[in-house]
Chains A and B, each alone.
Chain A
């Protein structure tokens, strides 16, 4: 079965640079979530989109922005990168109809800021 696809899987950037992470949800899933997991920490919710509109917002820095496109894929844009942005970024998707609360996670994109 198709899963959530994230790219790139690994990314290395310098401080103050910009990074873009992409997420392709499971087909027919209309909701996308972004999470940030720092080293040894639990995943922290950043932001979510439903039908291309922002549906919820968590602890996402102002330097970050995200959007969901017409094909339901989503991109997380991170600017003015800081060392503390080094983390594993997860994307998850779900389907609104028949909601069961389960989120399907991708393998994550590991961002390293030097």
Chain B
């Protein structure tokens, strides 16, 4: 079975500073990788996804992530964060088979301070 590890439960950062949210996955087969964002009292919104091809994927709101197969990682980065980026960020995986569910990591709370 596949699993996701988000090592940082909270990441405090000052506004306009760069940030990296770490995600490692475990799977015996190829997977799709995702980052979702959840703002307070809201649903889950897709930030970006890796399916195949270029290992660097760009998403919404200036976020990007890099798939590293050898390190089984899919870290999320943003060069300059805003107060409005304060939210919970979830890394997730699904198998490359039709209709497979998403398995989420435990989430990382990004707290941007002025």
Interface residues of A (CB under 8 A from B): 31, 33, 41-45, 48, 50, 55-56, 58, 90, 92, 94, 96, 99-108
Contact = CB atoms under 8 A, between A and B. Distances in A.
B74 to A, nearest CB: 13
Interface string B30-60: 0010101000001111100101000000000
Interface string B74-110: 0000000000000000100010111111111111000
Main secondary structure of the interface of B (DSSP, over half): loop
A73 to B, nearest CB: 17
Contacts of A108: 42-43
Contacts of B94: 101, 103
A102 B103 contact: no
A45 B102 contact: yes
A20 to B, nearest CB: 20
Given A101-B34, A105-B43, A42 B100 contact: no
B104 A101 contact: no
Contacts of B104: 42-44
10 contacts: A43-B90, A43-B102, A43-B104, A45-B102, A56-B99, A94-B99, A99-B99, A101-B94, A105-B43, A105-B45
Given A42-B106, A48-B99, A102-B34, 10 more contacts: A33-B101, A42-B105, A42-B107, A45-B103, A56-B100, A56-B101, A96-B99, A101-B49, A105-B44, A107-B43
